[in-house]
A and B are shown apart, each in its own frame.
Chain A
Amino acid sequence: MNPIGATKRPARGPDLAFLKRKAAELRGEVIGMSHKAGSAHLASCLSCVDILTVAYWHVLNIDPAAPTAEMRDRFILSKGHAAMAIYATLAHRGFFSRDLLATYTADGGKLAEHPPANLLPGIEAATGSLGHGLPIACGHALAARIKNVPDSYRVFALLSDGECNEGSVWEAAMFAAAQDLRCLCVIVDYNKWQATARSNETLRLSPLREKWESFGWDAHEVDGHDIEALCEVLSSVPNRSSRPVAVVAHTVKGKGVSFMEDDNNWHYRAPSAEEVALARKELGLS
């Protein structure tokens, strides 16, 4: 029934202490990058760090030394504005040197403010314009069936809640359900904010889990900062049904730093040196 068996998944349960420590390190990394580059979208990065940590250190069947291996699990950061978070994640996971992070936004560099095409190992797709990642993820998932290797890898797409404004997300949602793309998983980083307003006051997303469910997906709600819960729900893809899986992850924009949490000014603001020091202290980083 489920060819992605225990052999491909971590045999042991998650090392929660390690994952929490890693998430704190990644938060420290992106806060430092945002400060150094004066770059926006820090709060959008902080809301999805726990999801990225669980995916890259517990769930995904990946090998940083073979970033294009045919049977790898795919992770597509559809919310491309969280570029700092995916860069930090890939560097810490060994896809490229951590030294490269220092070149973020530098003239002539490879690390632009949205992930580039065909430049960096581990970046499956260039994103930045919202609503593109899920259709591409559907292509990855459908390709496995066309190539007669169904269920041999999983495809995860991380979307923002503001991104769910885009009609193309729902076009893809209906296609994935019609095609029974059971190895496809959408994670919505539901931090309740979009760039300039509360997401539900902008375009009514709620009830979001029920929306995915009514589109034919197996939909879950989870605390997007609960490492253990994330490990469990993301590891359960594919489940025993033929349906694709949606995980509505309730998150807090700016999570991990008290003075950034749920304050949408941090969608665009970059922290000062003093704020970096305060944030690192809160995160338990030296």
Chain B
Amino acid sequence: MRNAFADELTKLGDEDHRVVMLSGDIGNRLFDAFKDKHQNRFFNCGVAEAHMTGLAAGLAMNGLRPVTYTITPFVTTRCLEQIRTDICYHDLPVTIVAVGAGLAYAGLGPSHHACEDIAFLRALPNMVVICPGDAWEVRAALRAAMKQDKPVYLRMGKKGEPKVHQGPVENFAIGKAIPIVEGTQICILSTGNMLPEAIEAGRLLEKSGKSARVVSFHTVKPLDGDCLTETLRRFELVVTVEEHSVIGGFGSAVVEWAVDNGFDTRKVLRIGTPDKFFKESGEQEHARKQLGLSADQIARRIVSHLS
């Protein structure tokens, strides 16, 4: 995802002279192409995220389109007040791009995990929250984010995730979920980098005779109300999947929406990380397995929920 981001940002920088890239001392060589082409619009802001975020607000006040970028907890929770007060309160077009969301950097330990950021950022007025499902969605989401006039939080995995889409996502729109696999009985709404696991879970369900629709629900705020209406009406079971805490994340947002719009929330099953720090060493795949987020665990949980 991060390579797609750097490449797409370079293209956007070619097209739009307002694009400014701010890095929190990360992405060694990742932005070489951007720097080569737009040397005067790339700034390594050092390990100083509060300043980087305020700086972005100041740039945006002057008509520029800054992007702030570093590892998820540092570009979100470390500087949450600057995001809230400098960017969201002023309603400025700053795009906050996080790398390594959820457990993508599991091996680096809980200091680098990010399973609370959606909860924090979606609570901020004016903020748009997008969690792309693969590298193609990253490109489309970044492009869409930079074209509108609001603060955006773009939550990415790291690199090498399986690609779900075969090429550029046509007709990508903020707040418009993308159906990936059709099905009739169960609907899995996946946000962010869990999309490949969600698709695999759907495949496993098909094998055991259950028909599952899988949707890439990339925009957590604003939610796609049309998609939720259809989903909650049509399906026997609606499952939210995210690499984020079950407190305050995508699943919470869906259930809040369902309650507010008079739907039966008993048919919703929320799958995410538990309310605890994950302290074991090991990579993302291990962490997902320990926390019940692998495809087969998701499929089994759905089957047992149905029975």
Decide: A136 and B64 in contact? CB cutoff 8 A.
no
CB of A147 within 8 A of chain B? yes
Decide: B82 and A135 in contact? CB cutoff 8 A.
yes
B residues near A124, Cβ cutoff 8 Å = 61
Alpha-carbon distance between A172 and B57 when the two chains are bound, in angstroms: 13
Interface segment among A49-57, A125-133, A217-225: the answer is: A125-133
Decide: B50 and A139 in contact? CB cutoff 8 A.
no
Decide: A139 and B40 in contact? CB cutoff 8 A.
no
Within 8 A of A (CB), among B112-149: none
Decide: B40 and A143 in contact? CB cutoff 8 A.
no
**Contacts A129-B81, A146-B41: A168 and B50 contacting too (C-beta < 8 A)?**
yes
B90: contacting residue among A117, A135, A146, A147, CB under 8 A: A117
CB of B56 within 8 A of chain A? yes
**Contacts A146-B40, A168-B50: A126 and B89 contacting too (C-beta < 8 A)?**
yes
- The distance from the CB of A153 to the nearest CB of chain B, in whole angstroms, is 10
CB of A140 within 8 A of chain B? yes
Chain B residue nearest to A127 (CB atoms) is B85
CB of B292 within 8 A of chain A? no
Chain B residue nearest to A133 (CB atoms) is B54
Alpha-carbon distance between A13 and B121 when the two chains are bound, in angstroms: 51
Alpha-carbon distance between A18 and B68 when the two chains are bound, in angstroms: 46
Which has the most chain A C-beta neighbours within 10 Å: B56, B57, B59, B82? Answer: B59
A residues near B85, Cβ cutoff 8 Å = 126, 128-129, 132
Within 8 A of B (CB), among A129-167: 129, 131-132, 134-147, 167
B residues near A143, Cβ cutoff 8 Å = 58-59, 61-64
A residues near B60, Cβ cutoff 8 Å = 139
Decide: A146 and B50 in contact? CB cutoff 8 A.
no
A residues near B50, Cβ cutoff 8 Å = 131, 135, 167-168, 171
**Contacts A131-B50, A168-B50, A175-B46: A138 and B90 contacting too (C-beta < 8 A)?**
no
Can you offer 22 A-B residue contacts whose CB atoms are under 8 A? A118-B91, A125-B58, A126-B89, A131-B50, A132-B82, A134-B54, A135-B51, A135-B52, A135-B53, A136-B55, A136-B57, A136-B58, A139-B62, A140-B62, A143-B62, A145-B40, A147-B64, A168-B50, A168-B51, A171-B50, A174-B48, A175-B51
Query: What is the interface of chain B, defined by CB distance below 8 A to chain A?
Result: 20, 40-41, 43, 45-46, 48, 50-64, 66, 81-82, 85-86, 89-91
